[in-house]
Structure 1
Amino acid sequence: MKKISILGATGSIGIQTLDVLRCHPDQFQLVSMSFGSNVEQAVKIINEFKPEYVAAGSKEAYDILSSNVFSHSFSVGYGEEALAEAAVYKADFLVNALVGSVGLVPTLKAIEEKIPVALANKETLVTAGHIVKEHAKRYNVPLLPVDSEHSAIFQCLHGEQPKTIERLIITASGGSFREKKREELEGVTVKEALNHPNWSMGAKITIDSATMMNKGFEVIEAHWLFDIPYDKIEVLLHKESIIHSMVEFKDRSILAQLGSPDMRVPIQYALTYPDRLSLPSVKSLNLWEVGQLNFKKADEKRYRCLQFAFESGKIGGTMPTVLNAANEMAVEAFLNGRISFLQIEELIESSLNRHQAIARPNLQDIQEVDKETRAFVQSLLA
């Protein structure tokens, strides 16, 4: 029985991870979890899975949760310290499904406790990839990818020698506005942006998919997860989301991982690696039903956030930290109706242009740059 901690249990990845646990009750036990503000969903999860520790995202959520009556006793906390506690509480495997840079410290805490990490929190590697990788190496702890793209690459590389890799080809659906030209993005609404054609995701990630920042983050993640230089990573538009990513080798052979667009597949693979369990709730892929697969090279002029990510990753240091912090603030402002869709890019670009990167930042440097960037974007919004 593998004891699981899920950070972000009420979010999209968290809910789908619970689906996997529900499918295999003899294999997995939820021992700890965190949630943000969705108390109603958290109560349902607690009643069903009976975790021993729960971290709430705020004092308000903590108070509301504490007013409920449960059939079993468990410990409850809130805030950043509780989040770090939930990451390691009696767990022997962590699923980090948080959204935002708040996922960094709990990841480092789990690594220090030698707990393997299934990483769905992109911002952990985007903001502090070098620190996380050094930590994982020092404590000999595996980082297992949950994103469908990185899971695909991970599976394609199984049994292969790193020196034989020629390039990584990361596929992208193109997001909610993939059929629109750049000039047609003026005035698009939040509702339109949240209407993703292929995947069911949380609001922030869905907006990131529409801007292609999500794919930019995945490029930076791939760089750290697989130790591949940026000039050997490409993004390919593939609107069906059937091929999740590909690897080309020195001999020009290309391996691809295919499957229906269902996040439960890479989630379960991370939980069970190197084994595989059945997953009857996921539909088999019948290519004759798909009929046709389409591919198109990603245009960085059309998707400027993708360009920002490549440039920030190549500069390195604290530049990706700025990229992430500015993006988080800008996306939140868009979701709240304070800025237009294209102003997301403008705020990010302004933040990147003013920053002088620190080449080898420590954790404190990263946290200070993150805070400073958020304050700068807030000043522009004001």
Structure 2
Amino acid sequence: MDWRIISSDAVPNTDVLKQYIYDNGPVYTVLYAGHNDAWETEFGNYDGSYTLSYAGTETPNHAVLITGWNDSFSHGGSGWIVKNSWGTGWGDSGYFYIAYGSASIGMDSSFVHDWQDYDINGGIWYYDDDTWGSQVGYPPSTTAWGLAKFIPDRDTSVTRVEFWTTAVSTTVDVYLYDSFDGTTLGTKLGEGPSTTYNEAGYHSVELNSPVAVISGDDVVAVVKFTNHTGHTHPVPIDWYGSSEHGNGRTYTSPDSNPGTWNEATYDIAIRLRWSNEMDVGITKRVIGRGHEPGDPVTFTLSIENSGAVTATNIIVTDTLSSDILTPTYASSPGITERGVTSYSWNLPDLMGGASSVITVYGTISPTMPITGMAIWNTAIVSSGGDDSNTANNSSTALIGGERIYLPLVMRNY
């Protein structure tokens, strides 16, 4: 999830707002829709046949979505194309057109830069019930660190660190530790890529690999915030939420060194996203092309757990065609033949993000006809637990296939 703020209590430059829409799609914003005045009547009865215009600067009281613009409407004028929330029976099938700058439209504008699919097997740990309300730091430095210590309520895997940035142009580095005693951090468990955000907003950084955690055993999120525009308060806090000072769960520091951490008066707006999702998939490939009867052939079977939690009881089955003679195999890591068929194996457990490769060698039967030679093989993977995506549990590879012969045409000129 990545939600970014364009403006707060000011209407941004029209060209700037156009560029954001062009680059990112629709922009959320607010406008003044009237209140016991003539503008409320006009806006409420709008039929979509003209471009609205209102010169007043009253405080906005209605949220809408700018979806585009037109500098030469067919009905006259220029301005924003905006989607309202009053149904398709209002305006032009639920949309309206309004002149640039009218009714304070453009204030409090923001957009979704990226999103995540809903994870039915996941959740989030946080303390900032009222989200980001203010910010703290260590002036004159533009760098500060935030820390949030969580006690997991289940065995699971942490996949992301989430937080707010409080100003434009902020670089963020995220880390995960196994303990914090109020003074010193314990062992580092994981980290994510350093990321720079051009806008303030809410962001989510995926860890380089999921980190397994145990119920009741502390996990500590640490975030370094560095602003590049002179902003000296880069750490987000839940200003409006109830103060939890004294319970040892969130801290700030100027440099993260032992002894420099200060317990926060207001909860730091840092969160951890966890997931119990498991997704084991397989991809089978033939190495090379142009095989003919009697040729050696090599297959690779790549097995990967792209979920967050460890996959167990993994079984790979690859019943080769009888036209593949004297097959052998190698693997990394080691595997165990199951004995059900000659080409069925038990694999070691795969942690989230881990993979394994089985390589199968053989020889194509020399008695196969070269014309129309086609050998299909399908490999299947299964595992214990609830696989979130069964569509990638099988993969088919083809040796040969129909050859197409194009006629040679010679012309004399």
| Higher percent of residues as helix | 1
Provide the TM-score with structure 2 as the length reference. 0.21
Provide the TM-score with structure 1 as the length reference. 0.22
| Higher Cα Rg, which structure | 2
